[in-house]
A and B are shown apart, each in its own frame.
Chain A
Amino acid sequence: MSQCLGNITAVKKEHFVPMSSENTDSILQLIAKGEESAFNLLIEKYGNLVWSIGRKFLYKESDVEDAVQEVFIAIWKAAEKFDHTKASEVTFISMIARRRFIDYLRKVSKHRNLQSIDRDNGQELFKESILNQSTDLQLIKDAIGTLEIEDQELLKLSIYQGYSHSEISKLLNIPLGTVKTRIRRNLIKLKGLFDIKQRATVIELNNA
């Protein structure tokens, strides 16, 4: 166990050496094994991401604060379900975070607006660490890049900013039916690209 922790610490000290999705030293796996200190690592590594997602979904800061705590507890409880052959750690965490924030959003029914938010240049380094740690993240960036700029904007509003389809329709002055159709079409396209990559990863793992 200490060996595992040592590796993760090394990843941090060396400033984000790539950690592939098949790495057996993932934080979630340590949590699943009952390593209590791994929870600290989880917050340290993904705190900014989860906080950032929460800020996109929820309007009131106090709601974000509560929801973020719930998200991390939920991740901690679900860690044993994590399967690195099906999703990368960051994908797994993002999935849980999204579900929790969507649930929370339904409860409070207040949407975070599009105003600018606090900035911290140190965050850039953190983003780089996420990008490097998992091979499928470069793919997602490339995949999003294949979409039309307008479609990227639609997906961004829906997925990243958490706006409902009717809100997007009003915001961009596009018929609701068009919003639905374009979001559905582009999600299907992205899913197709991800699934291809997923299958390739599984084959790589099986051949390793």
Chain B
Amino acid sequence: MHKEQIQLERLLDLLVLEASVNLSQQEREELNRLLDLFPEYTSDYFHKTTALAQVGFYLEDDFNNETLPEHIRKKTLYRHKKELGQSTVTDYLDHFMRTLFYRPQFAWALTVLMTIGLSFSMIEFKNYESNFRYLPLKKIVMEKTADDLIQYPWHSRTNDLGPINGDIVWSDQQQKGFIKIAGLPMNDPNENQYQIWIVDPLKHGQPVDGGIFDVNRTDKAIIIPINPKLPISKAVGFAITLEQPGGVVVSSEPLLLTAPKERPQETFPKV
């Protein structure tokens, strides 16, 4: 066989491949070289033939009666609108929901994410005493859900403090509460820390430690969770003192704030 005939047959092989499957880079380079040798041929030599044959086989295929799914039709129209720069927010949401519900993997992924998120939220709320995240939200949730909620404003017990705003909310049933305060001076945690006290005369002879906290900003109110170290039977009052770092079991420091204002003095830590 002449060299030219061999080259022509190779060219036709590559053109057939080009029309039915994609060529590798090496094959494409070879095709281009051969096309230079046979300029009467073009790279799309068999394209129309294969396209027509494709339709012909399709028409003859009695077992292929597929129809374009409606959601694909709508997606395609959306993409067309997007190409034209005409898609609206409504179109986008419609497209998003359609994508979500017609792709099971997306729906499953969303379900898993929501489950993880829900679990995380539950853990967050369950362990709210030990962390300080989302406190405003947690406070609101407790205020909305506690049946026995008590709420008192803070009152200053010393002239050394400026104006104090804020309150305390507590639920005996839930054994938790929050204080909200604005106006307390910032403290240096290395030198001292504020400590919360819960007055429960029915069960405890001494005020119960409600946890320590720091004030590191004065521009807005802070919210602190109350962490009672002992079970509370019925809280009747709350106080705040300034103690050594880490707090104390029994306070000997003066009361800074109390709530409510009218309290049986004997129930407060000794001054």
Chain A residues in the interface with B (C-beta under 8 A):
36, 39-40, 43, 47-53, 55-56, 62, 65, 68-69, 72-73, 76, 87, 90-92, 94-95, 98-99, 102-103, 105-106, 116-124, 126-127, 130-131, 136-137, 140-141, 143-144, 155-156, 158-160, 162, 164-165, 180, 183-184, 187-188, 190-191, 194
Main secondary structure of the interface of A (DSSP, over half): helix
- Is B12 an interface residue, CB under 8 A from the partner? yes
- A141 and B59 in contact, given A39-B77, A68-B72, A184-B12 (Cβ under 8 angstroms): yes
- Is B54 an interface residue, CB under 8 A from the partner? yes
Taking a contact as CB atoms under 8 Å apart, the answer to whether B22 and A103 are in contact is yes
Query: Quick one: which of A62, A90, A105, A164 contacts B103, CB cutoff 8 A?
Result: A62
- A137 and B59 in contact, given A43-B73, A52-B66 (Cβ under 8 angstroms): yes
Among listed B13-21, B180-188, B209-217, interface-contacting one:
B13-21
The 6 closest A-B pairs by CB, nearest first: A47-B68, A123-B65, A160-B57, A140-B56, A94-B51, A95-B51
Rounded to whole Å, the gap between the CB of A153 and the closest CB of chain B is 10
Taking a contact as CB atoms under 8 Å apart, the answer to whether B58 and A52 are in contact is yes
Tally of A-B residue pairs with Cβ under 8 A? Answer: 168
- A99 and B47 in contact, given A39-B77, A65-B72 (Cβ under 8 angstroms): yes
A60 to B60, CA, bound (A): 24
**Closest Cβ neighbor of B64 among chain A residues:** A52
- A69 and B46 in contact, given A36-B84, A155-B53, A160-B54 (Cβ under 8 angstroms): no
Residues of A within 8 A of B80 (CB): 39, 72-73, 76
A197 to B11, CA, bound (A): 25
Taking a contact as CB atoms under 8 Å apart, the answer to whether B72 and A51 are in contact is yes
Taking a contact as CB atoms under 8 Å apart, the answer to whether A137 and B48 are in contact is no
Residues of A within 8 A of B105 (CB): 62
A162 to B19, CA, bound (A): 10
Residues of A within 8 A of B61 (CB): 160
Query: Quick one: which of A43, A159, A191 contacts B54, CB cutoff 8 A?
Result: A159
List B39-55 residues whose CB lies under 8 Å from chain A: 45-55
Taking a contact as CB atoms under 8 Å apart, the answer to whether B48 and A194 are in contact is yes
Residues of A within 8 A of B90 (CB): none
A144 to B58, CA, bound (A): 12
Taking a contact as CB atoms under 8 Å apart, the answer to whether B63 and A69 are in contact is no
- A122 and B66 in contact, given A69-B79, A159-B54 (Cβ under 8 angstroms): no
- Is B155 an interface residue, CB under 8 A from the partner? no
Taking a contact as CB atoms under 8 Å apart, the answer to whether B53 and A159 are in contact is yes
A140 to B75, CA, bound (A): 33
**Closest Cβ neighbor of A88 among chain B residues:** B52
Residues of B within 8 A of A130 (CB): 55, 59
Taking a contact as CB atoms under 8 Å apart, the answer to whether A188 and B60 are in contact is no
- Is B264 an interface residue, CB under 8 A from the partner? no
Taking a contact as CB atoms under 8 Å apart, the answer to whether A117 and B66 are in contact is yes
Q: List 7 A-B contacts (CB under 8 A).
A: A52-B64, A68-B76, A121-B65, A141-B59, A159-B54, A162-B20, A184-B12
